[in-house]
């Protein structure tokens, strides 16, 4: 077992995303059937730059629902169970997480919080507890296996595993869910680990689909002010200011 670091990989995203979003937006404002037009748009009948400009203008008006037709799928490792407890609160999304029932955790890796890493005394206590948790898990696993639980011993022994225990997860979010996710989790008030994840995801999304994600980020970036009141980090003025 050892300390591990965040890993983020984009597994897939919706192909022809710009033309797809353009078609969805156009259908909202046109009497024509976009199904008869889509292939022509893909072939460049309407230049991609023109499609992007149209999307940008409509998004700027606050109309976001058509971007739900495009999704991104990420594989994430080197994160704690504490992070995924926050992550799975986000809807609409689909999640497939490493199971502690079926995956043996006796040699689990863990996430070391920066504030603990820079405090020698705190780090010593933390790492000692990680070792103790691993030893306790192994002892329980062995005892339960002797009692006839077999491989099902994991599902009971896992109750002593800490939130710091590493997990791996695959998840899919559509663009509108991602925009909301970035508004909350890129904020300086977000917990440090999920903020690091959100910033890495945002960089990937901005590279792959800048027309949607160019101005994405914490809510203050879109609003021009911080809605957090007395909890503001000070980067933007608050409503009162």
Tens of pLDDT, residue by residue, the chain (241 residues): 899 999 999 999 999 999 999 999 999 999 999 999 999 999 999 999 999 999 999 998 989 999 999 999 999 999 999 999 999 999 899 999 999 999 999 999 999 999 999 999 999 999 999 999 999 999 999 999 999 988 899 999 999 999 999 999 999 999 999 999 999 999 999 999 999 999 999 999 999 999 999 999 999 888 888 888 888 888 888 765 4
The segment(s) of the chain belonging to CATH 3.30.1360.170 are 11-75+167-231
Cis peptide bond N-terminal to 92, omega within 30: yes
Cα–Cα distance list, 188 to 38, 101, 121, 215, 219 (Å) = 41, 35, 27, 17, 10
Residues involved in catalysis = 185
Beta-carbon neighbour count of residue 61 at 10 Å? 7
Whether pTM exceeds 0.75: yes
Does the domain at residues 11-75+167-231 carry the CATH identifier 3.30.1360.170? yes
What is the DSSP secondary structure assignment for residue 62, as one 8-state letter? T
């Amino acid at each position: 077992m050892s300390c591990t670091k965040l890993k983020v990989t984009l597994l897939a995203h919706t192909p022809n995303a710009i033309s797809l979003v353009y078609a969805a937006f156009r259908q909202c404002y046109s009497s024509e059937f976009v199904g008869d037009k889509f292939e022509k748009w893909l072939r460049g009948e309407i230049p991609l730059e023109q499609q992007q400009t149209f999307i940008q203008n409509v998004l700027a008006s606050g109309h976001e629902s058509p971007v739900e037709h495009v999704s991104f799928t990420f594989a994430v490792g080197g994160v704690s169970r504490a992070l995924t407890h926050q992550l799975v609160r986000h809807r609409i999304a689909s999640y497939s997480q490493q199971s502690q029932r079926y995956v043996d955790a006796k040699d689990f890796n863990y996430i070391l919080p920066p504030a603990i890493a820079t405090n020698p005394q705190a780090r010593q206590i933390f790492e000692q507890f990680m070792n103790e948790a691993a030893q306790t898990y192994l002892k329980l696993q062995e005892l339960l296996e002797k009692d006839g639980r077999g491989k099902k011993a994991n599902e009971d022994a896992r109750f002593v595993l800490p939130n710091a225990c590493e997990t791996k997860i695959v998840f899919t979010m559509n663009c509108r869910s991602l925009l909301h996710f970035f508004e909350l989790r890129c904020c300086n008030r977000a917990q440090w680990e999920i903020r690091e994840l959100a910033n890495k995801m945002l960089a990937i999304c901005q590279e792959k689909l800048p027309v949607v994600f160019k101005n994405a980020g914490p809510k203050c970036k879109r609003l021009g002010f911080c809605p957090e009141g007395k909890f503001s980090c000070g980067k933007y003025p608050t409503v009162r200011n």
